[in-house]
Amino acid sequence: MPTSTAPVPTRAQAVVAPADGSVEAWVAQVAALTLPDAIVWCDGSAAEKRRLLDEMVASGTLIKLDEAKRPRSYLARSHPSDVARVEARTFICSEREQDAGPTNNWRSPAAMGAELREVFAGSMRGRTMYVVPFSMGPLGGPISQVGVEITDSPYVVVSMHVMTRVSTQVLRLIDAGQQWVPAVHSVGAPLAPDEQDVPWPCDDTKYIVQFPESREIWSYGSGYGGNALLGKKCFALRIASVMARDEGWLAEHMLLVRVTSPQGRRYHLAAAFPSACGKTNLAMLRPTLPGWEVETLGDDIVWMRPDDDGALRAINPEAGFFGVAPGTGVDTNPTAIATLGHDVIFTNVALTDDGDVWWEGLTPQAPAHLIDWTGQDWTPDDGAAGRPAAHPNARFTVAAAQCPTIAPDWDDPAGVPVDAIVFGGRRATNVPLVTHALSWDHGVFLGATISSERTAAAEGAVGELRRDPFAMMPFCGYMMADHWAHWLAVGDGLDPARRPHIFQVNWFRKGADGRYLWPGFGENSRVVAWIADQVERGRAAGSGVAEGAAASPVGLVPAPGALDVTGLDVPEADLAALLDVQPEPWLREADLTEEFFAVFGDRVPQRLRDQLASLRRRLTSAQATA
């Protein structure tokens, strides 16, 4: 298995590579390329954040919300062309194309470096260059990493204040020899004189580029979240996944929670869900099952490192939440709503007449009048005509510490031991409500084959599977099949008695009448309780089928009566359907999995191909005895 003795990455192929490798020399060379009017070294202080917020209100970049209704909170409106990640312009520039894999856009480092130097030349003229030293994870922690982002966007600086730990202490750690990730961001080419007051500058040309070998990030032309807050997806997943591969740990697109049973036993769950599959709701779960408690540790990204005892310890490397607003409401996620009471930056939501914000799903009924995310008047009639008040990808940026369910020790540098890893997708058919993997290899197979069924013709053929292995398809910084091999290797290095158990969940199974069979939301705590019980019983049993579970061809499912449904109005027939495994459709799905594996050729680990063969044998046997 890879170890932490991996060599420090060379900057030989860097877009800008100072000879002495120092931050100061690097900043000087980036400044010489981009030609800013001024350079500001950020310190992460409250005074710095306040000054930048006030400047952006004065310039029109931010709208200050009503202080009584939403203290110290602001609304930003992006350019309509700059509202989301731009996957088509996101590149993994590894030295070898095969190391990026078929699911990433690749360009040679030399060719991309030349292209970037051309577009960045003079790109900050007329603006201030901000140098933002930041830590992902608590400063100096054993699982943490540091970086420095250069940006010409004050919106990015204040957002990095929220999402990371911005501090001059980072520069001292780098001076002492800590590895660091250089990241450069510009909103784009200099504006024409008559465009100098545009609140949200951006460029039609966009690049979001990661260089795995030199650990560099370069982003051009976008001021939007994941494209511009380079500590987030660019560093914490794309670059960190490569660092993790080289050094023997895991950087994953996962939430992290602590579950406490009525008996006071604690369990830590890391869970990966593609978009629109219930990730944020699980991260902030309010259990309906009496006596159970769920505390939030992280909502989006988890770094996990094997410790000296053979357990897997995890941290949330972020300091804030960058969440999707539409669909978040008092009924669906009251914890998130409580988190957003103050000190929030909202982007592309609607503005109410009394200086507050609104988005679809916040309340059952829309206000009679709003200013929509583009700055235009809006009424419910506009909504009925198909024009939403908030952009569907409207966001909120808020400190994690404000979350009412945040664990008191959520930012402990040592992290927490992971007891269970959970994968989920949105499946109307086939996949049971919850499945316990038969082994680590089987669990990795479940993660590698995560999929959601397309639900409308506009998204593709109804029922077609959209694959998103480990919920990492847009975020893995190297060949996806090698990512699966790395998971196998990490598991091999863990103590079998401390290795996390792996599960798959599906909150979205439907009956023949198209009705959801499971109520979801807070009732998902009943499934979480079964997962915790399986972890506890599995430790005691050592191997084999633990009490409370029954064998199925796809894994272990709750035995009759094992899932606590006390007080829940779910008919027995629905419960049976939620856990039903039909061999024939599963055999067809196995064929689709083989087609998916073929995309990656001989890089797919043989152990996962063996898992597919074992699945087929179990299904064929079940079909023969049915």
d(CA 124, CA 57): 21
Query: What pLDDT shows up at residue 1?
Result: 34
Burial of 624 from C-beta contacts in 10 A (0-12 / 13-18 / 19+): exposed
Among 42, 93, 277, 403, the active-site one is: 277
Residue intervals of the chain classified under CATH 3.40.449.10 are 23-61+85-247
Query: What pLDDT shows up at residue 459?
Result: 40
Q: Is 561 left (phi over 0), alpha (psi -120 to 50) or beta?
A: left
pLDDT exceeding 90 applies to what percent of the chain? 87
HSE-CB for 438 with a 13 A CA cutoff:
13
Find tokens 């979801």 and name the residue: 520
305 is in an annotated binding site: no
141 is in an annotated binding site: no
According to CATH, the topology of domain 321-402 is Phosphoenolpyruvate Carboxykinase; domain 2 (2.170.8)
* Contact between 370 and 351 (Cβ < 8 Å): yes
d(CA 307, CA 397): 32
Q: Which of 505, 491, 495 is nearest to 444 (CA)?
A: 491
Residue intervals of the chain classified under CATH 3.90.228.20 are 252-319+411-625
d(CA 160, CA 168): 14
387 is in an annotated binding site: no
| DSSP H or E segment with residue 371 | strand 370-371
d(CA 158, CA 138): 18
253 is in an annotated binding site: yes
* Contact between 171 and 179 (Cβ < 8 Å): no
d(CA 25, CA 15): 14
Burial of 578 from C-beta contacts in 10 A (0-12 / 13-18 / 19+): buried
281 is in an annotated binding site: yes
d(CA 445, CA 527): 21
| DSSP H or E segment with residue 135 | strand 128-136
* Contact between 251 and 243 (Cβ < 8 Å): yes
Q: What's the whole-model pTM score?
A: 0.94
Three-state secondary structure of 473-510:
CCCCCCCHHHHHHHHHHHHHCCCCCCCCEEEEECCCCE
Query: What would the two tokens of residue 280 be?
Result: 């944020």
pLDDT per position as a tens digit, 491-536: 999 999 999 999 999 999 999 999 999 999 999 999 999 999 999 9
Q: Which of 452, 454, 455 is nearest to 469 (CA)?
A: 452
d(CA 229, CA 220): 12
- DSSP 8-state secondary structure symbol assigned to residue 137: S
Residue intervals of the chain classified under CATH 2.170.8.10 are 321-402
According to CATH, the topology of domain 23-61+85-247 is Phosphoenolpyruvate Carboxykinase; domain 1 (3.40.449)
Residue 211, Cα to own-chain centre: how many angstroms? Answer: 20
* Contact between 249 and 305 (Cβ < 8 Å): yes
Q: Is 536 left (phi over 0), alpha (psi -120 to 50) or beta?
A: alpha
Query: What pLDDT shows up at residue 600?
Result: 97
d(CA 566, CA 289): 9
Residue 21 binned pLDDT confidence (cut-offs 50, 70, 90): confident
pLDDT per position as a tens digit, 314-341: 999 999 999 999 999 998 899 999 999 9
* Reported CATH class of domain 252-319+411-625: alpha beta
| DSSP H or E segment with residue 528 | helix 524-541
pLDDT per position as a tens digit, 155-183: 999 999 999 999 999 999 999 999 999 99
Find tokens 């399986």 and name the residue: 534
Angle at alpha carbon of residue 457, lines to 454 and 463, rounded to 5°? 35
Catalytic-residue membership of 403: no
Query: What pLDDT shows up at residue 332?
Result: 87
82 is in an annotated binding site: no
